[in-house]
Amino acid sequence: MANEPGRAGAWQAESAARAAKQVTQENFPVALRFLPERHRRHLLAVYTYARTVDDTGDLAPGERPKLLAELAEDVRRLYGSGPAGAGAPRAAAVRGLAGTITECAIPMQPFLELIAANEQDQAVTRYETFEDLEGYCRLSANPVGQIVLYIFGSYTPERARLSDAICTGLQLAEHWQDVAEDMRAGRIYLPGEDMRRFGCREDDLLAPRTAGPLRNLLAFEVGRAAELIDTGAPLVGDLGLVPRAAVAGFVAGGRAALAAIGKADYDVLRATPRPGKARTVAELIRAFVRGR
């Protein structure tokens, strides 16, 4: 027991280093790499934090609920609302948020909600309705978009509403790409009522190829995700030049991911559909120019 804090600290440091490396890879929106240094610095701090939280919930050795609770306590320490005399945050990814939180006036709740989503993942592995899944996305995805708006000094309740639609659509796109991977991890994000409606069973998600009923279900769910992204996309045209480029990058990433699933004829079990960089860049230019 005495070594647990040391192991947790080593894990968090490893996760933060992995996040920094992943920034240069495909899962960090291409538009963000061309933003001014100040914005990139803040976005990197947030990305490192979010990646550390996700890795703690998905990959960390030991008691993941306890490790997530420790991260939440670290966030409260950072905001000065932890126990008296608790000291500074222990996790490097949380300490790395200090300048961003101060300079961008970001409230604490979005950071805690990202942890809450991972705590939910420890207990919930199935979602009965699409509304239930949307509730999960409100914790796992929407806070990121809200934080991004604060970083660009662009937060308003109406912009947050549009951002939430984009982020939920992005989260759903990732789930539909990763049906096989999630199933191997014991999780199903396809709503149970939708699976029954299209005649799909859980065993269908273990097949080497995607059967017809499951392809039809995925086409339906991809359409839902696309509609959400389109609903939020007018946010692009409501922003100044720099945040416009960043948000256009998110919109483009989601649209390109959904297009890749369609191009694979919704066979997400044979291989994970991933968009090419050319398609993503084309979607980025289109969203930026059209403002949606």
Can you give the pLDDT at residue 25?
46
My answer on whether 248 and 136 are in the same domain is: yes
Positive or negative, the CA dihedral 101, 103, 104, 105 is positive
Q: For the segment 224-246, what is each residue's pLDDT rounded down to a tens digit? A: 999 999 999 999 999 999 999 99
Can you give the pLDDT at residue 81?
82
Q: How far apart are CA 267 and CA 210, in angstroms?
A: 5
My answer on whether 104 and 152 are in the same domain is: no
119 belongs to a structural domain: no
Q: Which of 109, 142, 169 is the last residue of a domain?
A: 109
With 60 as the cut, is the pLDDT of residue 3 above it? no
Q: For the segment 56-65, what is each residue's pLDDT rounded down to a tens digit? A: 999 998 899 9
Q: For the segment 83-129, what is each residue's pLDDT rounded down to a tens digit? A: 655 678 999 999 999 999 999 999 999 999 999 999 999 999 999 99
117 belongs to a structural domain: no
User: Please, which pLDDT band fits residue 213 given cuts at 50, 70 and 90?
Assistant: very high
Can you give the pLDDT at residue 61?
87
116 belongs to a structural domain: no
As a whole number, the mean pLDDT across the chain is 91
Q: How far is CA 28 from the centre of its chain?
A: 11
My answer on whether 148 and 287 are in the same domain is: yes
Nearest to 268 by CA among 171, 142, 179, 175: 179
Greater confidence, 26 or 259? 259
Can you give the pLDDT at residue 35?
85
Q: How far apart are CA 65 and CA 120, in angstroms?
A: 9
Greater confidence, 22 or 180? 180
| 8 Å CB contact between 120 and 187 | no
My answer on whether 198 and 256 are in the same domain is: yes
My answer on whether 64 and 145 are in the same domain is: no
My answer on whether 132 and 98 are in the same domain is: no
| 8 Å CB contact between 143 and 50 | no
CATH number at residue 213: 1.10.600.10
Q: How far apart are CA 60 and CA 54, in angstroms?
A: 9
Q: How far apart are CA 58 and CA 176, in angstroms?
A: 18
Q: How far apart are CA 56 and CA 227, in angstroms?
A: 31
Q: What are phi and psi of 15, to 5 degrees?
A: -65, -40
My answer on whether 48 and 174 are in the same domain is: no
Residue with tokens 């120019």, as numbered in its chain:
289
Q: How far apart are CA 96 and CA 48, in angstroms?
A: 8
115 belongs to a structural domain: no
Domain that holds residue 260: 124-292
Q: Which of 109, 140, 164 is the last residue of a domain?
A: 109
62 belongs to a structural domain: yes
246 belongs to a structural domain: yes
- Mean pLDDT of the region 238-259: 96
Q: Which of 50, 85, 109 is the last residue of a domain?
A: 109
Greater confidence, 264 or 59? 264
My answer on whether 99 and 132 are in the same domain is: no
| 8 Å CB contact between 200 and 269 | no
With 70 as the cut, is the pLDDT of residue 19 above it? no
259 belongs to a structural domain: yes
Least confident of 1-10, 41-50, 213-222: 1-10
User: What is residue 210's three-state secondary structure?
Assistant: coil
Q: For the segment 148-193, what is each residue's pLDDT rounded down to a tens digit? A: 999 999 999 999 999 999 999 999 999 999 999 999 999 999 999 9
Q: How far apart are CA 18 and CA 24, in angstroms?
A: 11
With 50 as the cut, is the pLDDT of residue 45 above it? yes
Domain count, the chain: 2
Count of Cβ atoms closer than 10 Å to residue 158 Cβ? 9
Nearest to 55 by CA among 23, 3, 17, 86: 17
Count of Cβ atoms closer than 10 Å to residue 101 Cβ? 21
118 belongs to a structural domain: no
My answer on whether 214 and 292 are in the same domain is: yes
Q: How far apart are CA 127 and CA 197, in angstroms?
A: 14
Can you give the pLDDT at residue 34?
73
197 to each of 81, 177, 217, how far by Cα in Å? 47, 21, 9
